[in-house]
Structure 1
Amino acid sequence: MPIWICHCQTCRKANAAREVATAGVQRSHFRLLCGEEKLTAFESSPGKRRYFCSVCGSHLFAARDGQTHVILRVATLDTDPGLRPLGHIWTSQDQPWLDGSTQPCFAERSS
């Protein structure tokens, strides 16, 4: 499914980030290769659970009851999925004090 950059309040807070790259993955195509016993989850809104690694705290995916797909946090992938984001969603929930578009950019942070 396509990659979207989500700006909603719950994604922002769950990931401590201004925006989050997400993509739906059909449940039939999704499986954990290892570490399932280290997952922990919480219900962020009725029927939606967000799954985290209990060791490092990374938000890995979310799932809604009854949906045929999970919502993957694309930034957790180690390899290029071969897709690019189609656009930004939930920008109505952007916070103006987090807009960094006019700030200088650096390839890396120096000490």
Structure 2
Amino acid sequence: MPSIRGSCLCGGVQYEITGPLQAAANCHCTMCRKQHGAAFRSRAGVNPADFHWLQGENLVTIYESSPGTHRGFCRVCGSPVANRIDPSAVTGGGVERLGVQLGGLDDDPGVRPIAHVFVADKAPWFTITDDLPQFQTVPSAKS
């Protein structure tokens, strides 16, 4: 599998993903909307072992937006870079997960969002006009 590169707006932070992206979705939760200043965040999951800093890791500031959820951004330009969710923050436990915004990738990720999640928190001024499935929160693995 070819690697996928990403970076922040100023180019100070650069990273590479060497494994598959998973569960690409458009997240409408209030925190993602505020972090991105947009109607939603298009994101995908990444196995932490497949995420590698190429430069500028020292420029990344981490903000714990809720217990166990850490949002990383470039402290120079403010671009969101990667979010980390601790196993303790996952209902029923789990493993550490990383999320990257699709808009920060420099290469075609080869995936497209498959759903809208946290639609219950959707911005009232935004209308979803595509045919992707919509979930009020996040679907369980059984969905």
The amino acid across from 1:39 in the alignment is: V
Calculate percent identity across the aligned residue pairs.
38
Task: Provide TM-score, normalisation by structure 1.
Answer: 0.84
AA at the equivalent of 1:13? K
Q: Which has the higher helix share?
A: 1
Q: How many residues align?
A: 101
Match of 1:65 among 86, 92, 100: 86
How far is the alpha carbon of 1:69 from its aligned partner? 2.1
User: 3-state SS of the aligned residue for 2:42?
Assistant: strand
- Higher relative CO (Cα under 8 Å, sequence separation at least 6) belongs to 1
1:75 aligns with 2:96: no
Unaligned segments of structure 1, at least 5 residues = 102-111
Structure 2 residues not aligned, in runs of 5+: 1-21, 88-94, 130-143
SS across alignment from 1:32: strand
RMSD: 1.4
What are the within-5 Å matches in structure 2 for residues 1-111 of structure 1? 1-66=22-87, 67-99=95-127
SS in structure 1 of the partner of residue 84 of structure 2: strand
Distance 1:100 1:82, change over 3 A: closer
After the TM superposition, list the runs of 4 or more consecutive aligned residues in structure 1 that deviate by more than 6 angstroms: none
- Opposite residue 74 of structure 1, the aligned amino acid is L
CA distance in 1 between counterparts of 2:79 and 2:86 reads 21
Aligned counterparts of 1:54 and 1:35: Cα–Cα separation in 2? 10
TM-score, normalised relative to structure 2: 0.66
Q: Is the 8 A contact 2:84 2:96 kept in 1?
A: no
